[in-house]
A = this chain, B = another copy of it.
Amino acid sequence: SGITSLLGSGVYSAAYPLHDVSSLLYEEWANYSVFYKYQPIGLAYNTLGETLAVHWTWRGVSQKSTTSEVKEICFSVCLNSSMEICDPKNNITMCPLCDRVCSYWKLSTACGTARAGHLFDNPATVFFSIFMALWAAMFMEHWKRRQMRLNYEWDLTGFEDEEDHPRAEYEFRVMQKSLKKEKKSPQKVEKLTCRDRLPAYMTNIVMMLLMIGVTFAIVFGVILYRISTKAALYMSSSPTTRSHVQLTVKTTAAIINLVVILILDEVYGAVARWLTVLEAPKTEKNFEERLIFKTFILKFVNAFTPIIYIAFFRGRLVGRPGRYLYVFESYRMEECSDGSCLMELCIQLSITMLGKQLIQNNLFEIGIPKLKKLIRYIQSEQGAFQEEERQKKLRRYETDHFLEPFGGLTPEYMEMIIQFGFVTLFVASFPLAPLFALLNNIIEIRLDAKKFVTELRRPVAARAKDIGIWYDILRGVAKVAVVINAFVISFTSDFIPRMVYQYMYSPDGSLHGFVNHTLSYFNVSHFEHGKGTMDPMPYGYPIEVCRYKDYREPPWSLTPYEISKEFWAVLAVRLAFVIVFQNVVMLMNDIVDWLIPDIPKDISQQIHKEKILLVELFMRQEQGMINILERGGSSSIKETYRRSNNNNNSTTAPLFSKEQPNGTKQF
């Protein structure tokens, strides 16, 4: 429109609607003191337009659902049984955790960690995971219904996205192409073909793969850091350092991971934008969708690669005593301390999630607009007059000019999706995720509201019927979550090995002897030369056999250290569990989907009723028209009217009365 071109040519520096002077929205919404109330969606609708209001409603729905699931956590925490590891009678001598400097150790020292790990690793976890998968399905359904209701209430049921005009960049590219072609043929080029776009597509794919490669490389780097630091710290002479090795290394590594994720997130955002500009999509909507898709892929991989590594690969690539796997020929791959890696996964998840929420969302989101506002103020005013005077004297449009312009909702949605990922993907291993998410949302929902009301310029209202591509992404995450949870339960936790032992190997059907069953024997004389421990008698007697966590044949079997039958049996049961879990959950999701209608019943009845009313109204109007003509007009008028009416009869698509012209204008 005219404003846009004037903005482009620099006549105006910015165009924006003004915030209301009466800050009703501020009092009712953007305030921590009202966190227990429902959000004033209607008010937000009136003030900020549908796009934003739909976003906030989505938030609200997500928060309400999270509350219900926090109640379920108790399940998971209350069921703590006594641990066999802690039994002093089970005084098992374990093989050293590193070459040469580490010594043999007693399994009972790991009692504390095992106890803590059992908090998240018990049969209730399975039901909790199924519940969470169902919750995700219910959430999606609930959102669909809510969206339909709001569409109805806000009069959007008949609204369809209008066709966008091509973007300026796209038109520029088309012009360039037609200029080039003009010399050869006079035919006008109207659009970019696949062939024109091939270089951009190729760049896109290559860059995306490269970025994902960078993420993998960084995760590997952190692993190396962990291995080498651990090795170095073990060699330190101070006993306190050595006793805290595990905790120090784990925590610092998790923090490094977090910092890297935060930095890469910013980089990836820029890369995704650059790639999308390169691609030159046709319309604004296309541009947004492609940008979102790329950003999502990169950020998702970035956030979840370290976690996936810990959940599924760590501790599985260590080799066995006497034939360990070495990185760069000197560092042994890391093992999970004391059995399952679930505890480490928990630490990593909580640090990443808390860190991302606190630092990225709240600090960045609030801090940076404030900072920018300050810079903008200093630049334009040079601090010429005092803050208080300015506040009093300036008009609304002047105050608003110092605010940051509204930059779209993509970061807000992205944050929500990643959070949804944390809540659903690894809920089996970290049942506190929903609690964290709930706390974050309670803070965030008001913080963001404050930001939008006080820190940003009021956005231009736009109509939005749904949350667009985000819904599809959400569905995708929910689907992946089912598979990941199945794998976490069956592979990361000890649930399946315990079950297998209880029903297949236990002499009396109890779990008694399970720990012994999961540990294999190793004859210490089979250590490679120079790799054995320097301290062969830590407990005062020579140790001949040590134990390690794996299912392998004992040294005295015909095929020593080969993978044992138990390994394959446990693996088969694990895989069977994945199949059963995945299909049961998918079936239940389908049933939920099928049982809950997409349109709430009262809304569909209302719509139906309105349609009938409308037809009636239309008929009455028509008849009124005819009556008027009958009374006052000549027969020729009647004829004309009837003819024009008949014309109309032949068309069938819906008419929108909103588009009816205002009669007076035509005079």
Contact = CB atoms under 8 A, between A and B. Distances in A.
A63 to B, nearest CB: 29
Interface of A, helix, strand, loop or mixed by DSSP: helix
A628 B618 contact: no
A602 interface: no
A617 interface: yes
Interface stretch (A132-140, A187-195, A274-282, A633-641): A633-641
A576 B576 CA distance: 8
A651 B618 CA distance: 10
Contact of A568 (B155, B569, B656): B569
A20 interface: no
A647 interface: yes
B618 A660 contact: yes
Given A641-B625, A645-B663, A155 B657 contact: no
Given A565-B564, A628-B637, A666 B623 contact: yes
B654 A158 contact: yes
A649 B657 contact: yes
Contacts of A565: 564-565, 568
B621 A647 contact: yes
A607 B653 contact: yes
Interface string A566-599: 0011011001101100110000001000100000
A610 B624 CA distance: 29
Contact of A660 (B579, B583, B630, B649): B649
Contacts of A663: 622, 626, 641-642, 645
A562 to B, nearest CB: 9
A15 B562 CA distance: 81
A116 interface: no
Which of A590, A621, A645 has the most CB atoms of chain B within a 10 A radius of its CB? Answer: A645
Contacts of A607: 653
Contacts of A654: 158, 611, 654-656
| Number of chain A interface residues as a range | 35 or more
A419 B618 CA distance: 49
Contact of A664 (B575, B642, B656, B661): B642
A534 interface: no
Given A568-B568, A569-B568, A575-B579, A657 B655 contact: yes
Contacts of A636: 632
Contacts of A647: 617, 621
A608 interface: yes
A378 interface: no
A198 interface: no
Contact of A628 (B640, B648, B657, B659): B640
A618 B655 CA distance: 8
Given A572-B568, A619-B661, A633 B644 contact: no
A649 B642 CA distance: 22
14 contacts: A158-B652, A483-B583, A564-B565, A582-B582, A615-B655, A617-B647, A617-B648, A625-B625, A625-B641, A628-B633, A633-B633, A648-B657, A648-B660, A652-B658
Given A483-B583, A619-B659, 16 more contacts: A479-B590, A568-B568, A568-B571, A575-B575, A579-B579, A610-B651, A614-B653, A618-B659, A618-B660, A619-B661, A626-B667, A628-B633, A632-B633, A642-B664, A652-B658, A654-B654
- In order of increasing CB-CB distance, the 10 nearest A-B pairs are A654-B654, A568-B568, A575-B575, A565-B565, A571-B572, A572-B572, A655-B655, A568-B569, A621-B644, A615-B659
